[in-house]
Structure 1
Amino acid sequence: MNRIAPAGRLLAVAAVASLALTACGGSGGDTAAQKSESAAPASSAPASAAKGDGTLTIGDVLPQTGSLAFLGPPEFAGIDQAVKEINDTGGVLGKPVNKIHTDSGDTTTNIASQSVDKLIAQKADAIIGAASSSVSESIIDKVTGAGLVQFSPANTSDKFTTINDHGLYFRTAPPDRLQGRVLGDLIAADGNDTIGILAMQDSYGSGLADQVTKTAEAAGAQVVERVDYDPKAADFSADVAKIKAKNPKAIVLIGFEESAKVVQELVKQSLTADKYKWYMVDGNMSNTNYLKMPKGTLKGVKGTIPGAAAPTEFQKKLLAIDPKLTNYTYAAESYDAANLIALAAQEAKTDDPAQIAKHLVTVSKGGEKCADFKSCDELLKAGKDVDYDGISGPIEFNDAGDPAIATIGVYQYGADNKYDATKALEYRKGNIEG
């Protein structure tokens, strides 16, 4: 199944806003026998299709280093918790699930590609990752070309909806067109009629900026300046100066770790959050990157993060795995990714990646509702069809491997330069049609 959209096919998002003030309350992996296998370029089918060996092996390529390293801990913890529960239940195909953690680095390194080589050699059936859309784009040919399932908990670039992936790519995070629409609507609803955008220049930043612009301008606002910057730049003074020259009411920051330097430059040029309304996105909504800044630097700043907030009991389980967790971004999506892969293998009665991919769709919709591996597994063993609805929300894959329904949370920073990861100002739900 190639994810190439037919000519003239339109992608539409219907977002329904619902206001709710809601309080919510990694480690190394095992190794396997070495196997030499080379990846092939994308084509209508994998040149070298992986076959199951009777043991489900889930690898991951997620950020231990690089510009998204703050997202790694909750993602690893989510996978670890899922695999623990799966193996406590009896595993998959009568055997414990094998997990292997590896680093993705970021686009400035070749770490992700090296990690994929390692996972292919260790007979991984499915790879969870990467977190960065650009990193995933750089490895997808190698992963799916080798016949493995690639399943990202955090990729939001619209490119993956139509990418040639041999039918092997899935994600629990919604495409940017939904987050961009929610953010654009939010900015306009807050009374901002002029907007400046500072976006990192890659598929994630530019794509998200495009959707924010489209939505905000449809709501009557005007993007008076947009700067797509080099995230590896040593200095952002000229970029910020362009925004300052247009004096917008709202300033949108779309980026990763480098956003801390952009924030410092905004403050230096007197475009502070107490005078202008700042907005951020999942890539820079961090509770660690801004702590060294003066108190109040980010007070009142709003940002969007795909996914529902992690429930209290789930957070407690994750903290038992990693007591140092400070945020839970994409933890639920990672947990759900591992559970869905395991359920697909269990339903298919094989760890053959091609069969797992086919059954990922069937275990996500149309059957009897279940919310964890144990309850779903019991239904499968009773010969029933299952519909896994996870911690990240209802999951139903469309033909492109995207979640058909998604939730976006809106969060706000306090005077301590942190946002409360357990409480959103509101959640906005949307249907993704494509």
Structure 2
Amino acid sequence: MKRQDLRLLALFASLLGFCGTASAACTATIGGVMSLTGSLGVLGQQIAKGAQLAVADLDSAGGVNHCTAKLSLLDDQTSASVGVDAAKKLVDVEHVPAIIGALSSGVSAAILTSVATPSKVVLISPASTSPTFTDLAKAGKTAGYWFRTAPSDALQGVAMAKVALDAGLSKVAILYLNNAYGQGLSAEFANAFTKLGGTVTQNVVYNPSQPSYRSEVNKAMKPKADALFLIGYPGDGTTIAREWISAGGTRAFLLPDGLESQDFVNDVGSQYMKDVHGTAPGSVTTPSLETFKREYRQKFGELPTQAYIPNAYDGTVLIGLAMDYAGSADGTAIRDSLRKVTDPHGEKIYAGAAELKKAVSLIAQKKPIQYIGASGPLQFDKYGDIDAPMVVWSVDAMGKVKHTGMVTVEDIAKLRARLMH
């Protein structure tokens, strides 16, 4: 072989080596927009850990499309305008094809309509529960780019009505946050509660970030109710609960997922939280749930008693698997592939790096799989919604938030059927 040929061969080999290194060093970025500060920050910082654990598992399973999996997580400060700016940065600058988030329904709605749908980017929320999203999907305004791994408040409202009546609370005052979450949950609860025989004594809206809520509290207190259903987030919720208690309101509380927080209970004062009846999206017991709990403890320590951490894990895993199935970073292909990785006829795949590695192998053969998540089976309907049970929670004698029961999917379905007649 001539010396010139040898030099060309060496150059060719070095180029091959360079290309191989570049391929190994590529990055598949999943966007994230969550409330790390603001009124949902105390919950969001924990929920984000679910997404971080999912990316670690995807990476251990071989990455996404043979590239290193990365989560680019931005803080929306529980603000719709900040959330939209964060999503625009992820889409326009980092070119992400899918986003896990947001948490607040108001923030998710703004991102969905202003950024995700127009840009053909998938948005999977682990915590936005407003029925508004179902209505948007039915009206064709999401173009199928919307999914959520948490159930709609159309389910939570019914579950809370059952919990209240089972506790002997027949007269309930409602104070709700003036956003998509508060509006949707208050309406669903009021409808279910009254149709099942209860009375809503007042239904009072409040705006976020007020220095005082004395006027709203005074209005909600008359006539006297058996309990207060307070719909909101830690922060404003703490201020309202304190003012309600100081004004002499009943100390029986109905509290939703947004206030399932040990910090909230501590800030209000656990001595005032001895008669709490709470609901939050629960998890169907699956092998994935136990794996998730074990991995979470190994990486972050004790798993807090609050909703949506498993849901964030599942949503992020689904994005990674769908990107693998699509074989590209194209939002539309990922949207369509989400049905392939949650196919009830596919081979069952559970949480954890070992199972996800198995999934990657099946996906390479273009075989359908059914990812069964830490939060449940995750069967999306045509509007991107799922069914899930509702966990019942309370505050124990030691002032700790504890799960005390479950309202099953079947229970909720039966009650909803009753409400239709």
Give the equivalent residue in structure 2 for 1:388. Answer: 371
CA distance in 2, matches of 1:89, 1:313: 15
CA distance in 2, matches of 1:171, 1:295: 32
Aligned equivalent of 2:78, options 106, 131, 145: 106
Verify the 8 A CA contact 1:92 1:342 in the aligned structure 2.
yes
Q: Which runs of 5+ in 2 are unaligned?
A: 1-25
Task: Write the mapping of 1:115-264 to structure 2, written as runs, cut at 5 A.
Answer: 115-120=86-91, 121-140=93-112, 141-163=114-136, 164-257=141-234, 258-264=236-242
The alpha carbon displacement at 1:323 in A equals: 4.0
The alpha carbon displacement at 1:417 in A equals: 3.7
Verify the 8 A CA contact 2:172 2:226 in the aligned structure 1.
yes
Give the equivalent residue in structure 2 for 1:30. Answer: none
Give the equivalent residue in structure 2 for 1:428. Answer: 408
Verify the 8 A CA contact 2:237 2:259 in the aligned structure 1.
yes
* CA 312–359 in structure 1, closer or farther in 2 if over 3 Å, else same: closer
* Alignment pair present for 1:287 and 2:262: yes
* CA 220–79 in structure 1, closer or farther in 2 if over 3 Å, else same: same
* Alignment pair present for 1:360 and 2:333: no
Give the equivalent residue in structure 2 for 1:419. Answer: 401
The alpha carbon displacement at 1:281 in A equals: 0.4
Verify the 8 A CA contact 2:98 2:123 in the aligned structure 1.
yes
* Alignment pair present for 1:333 and 2:304: no
Give the equivalent residue in structure 1 for 2:274. Answer: 299
Verify the 8 A CA contact 1:209 1:254 in the aligned structure 2.
yes
Verify the 8 A CA contact 2:163 2:277 in the aligned structure 1.
no
The alpha carbon displacement at 1:294 in A equals: 3.8
Matched residue type, 1:151 = I
When structure 1 is superposed on structure 2, of 66-75 and 236-245 the one drifting more is 236-245
Encode CA deviations 1:303-349: one digit per residue, 9 max, x unaligned.
11113189455334224433486444211111101111111122222
Verify the 8 A CA contact 1:296 1:416 in the aligned structure 2.
no
Verify the 8 A CA contact 1:61 1:116 in the aligned structure 2.
yes
* CA 300–364 in structure 1, closer or farther in 2 if over 3 Å, else same: same
Give the equivalent residue in structure 2 for 1:371. Answer: 350
Verify the 8 A CA contact 2:159 2:407 in the aligned structure 1.
no
Give the equivalent residue in structure 1 for 2:12. Answer: none
Aligned equivalent of 1:278, options 253, 257, 262: 253
CA distance in 2, matches of 1:114, 1:382: 39
Matched residue type, 2:357 = K
Aligned equivalent of 1:314, options 292, 295, 320: 292
Matched residue type, 2:201 = V
Matched residue type, 1:174 = P
Q: Secondary structure at the match of 1:238?
A: helix
Encode CA deviations 1:30-74: one digit per residue, 9 max, x unaligned.
xxxxxxxxxxxxxxxxxxxxxxxx853201000111110022222
Count matched residues: 373
* Alignment pair present for 1:58 and 2:30: yes
* Alignment pair present for 1:408 and 2:390: yes
Verify the 8 A CA contact 1:236 1:262 in the aligned structure 2.
yes
CA distance in 1, matches of 2:29, 2:193: 44
CA distance in 1, matches of 2:330, 2:304: 36
Encode CA deviations 1:364-423: one digit per residue, 9 max, x unaligned.
1322222132343333345432111100011111111111x2121110112444302xx3
Encode CA deviations 1:255-287: one digit per residue, 9 max, x unaligned.
1121111110121122242xxx31000111211
Q: Secondary structure at the match of 2:279?
A: strand
Matched residue type, 1:70 = V
Encode CA deviations 1:243-264: one digit per residue, 9 max, x unaligned.
3221111211111121111110
When structure 1 is superposed on structure 2, of 307-316 and 133-142 the one drifting more is 307-316
When structure 1 is superposed on structure 2, of 61-70 and 424-433 the one drifting more is 424-433
Verify the 8 A CA contact 1:55 1:93 in the aligned structure 2.
no
Aligned equivalent of 1:265, options 232, 243, 246: 243
Q: Which runs of 5+ in 1 are unaligned?
A: 1-53
Q: Secondary structure at the match of 2:175?
A: strand
Q: Which has the higher helix share?
A: 2
* CA 104–324 in structure 1, closer or farther in 2 if over 3 Å, else same: farther
CA distance in 2, matches of 1:379, 1:324: 33
Moved over 4 A (4+): 309-313, 430-433
Give the equivalent residue in structure 1 for 2:19. Answer: none
Encode CA deviations 1:127-176: one digit per residue, 9 max, x unaligned.
11110000111221212212211111001011111321222111101111
CA distance in 2, matches of 1:102, 1:294: 32
Encode CA deviations 1:350-377: one digit per residue, 9 max, x unaligned.
2211100011122213222221323433
CA distance in 2, matches of 1:297, 1:343: 45
The alpha carbon displacement at 1:191 in A equals: 1.7
TM-score, normalization: structure 2? 0.83
TM-score, normalization: structure 1? 0.81
CA distance in 1, matches of 2:82, 2:189: 31
Give the number of the structure with larger relative contact order, counting CA–CA contacts within 8 Å between residues 6 or more apart. 1
Verify the 8 A CA contact 2:227 2:250 in the aligned structure 1.
no
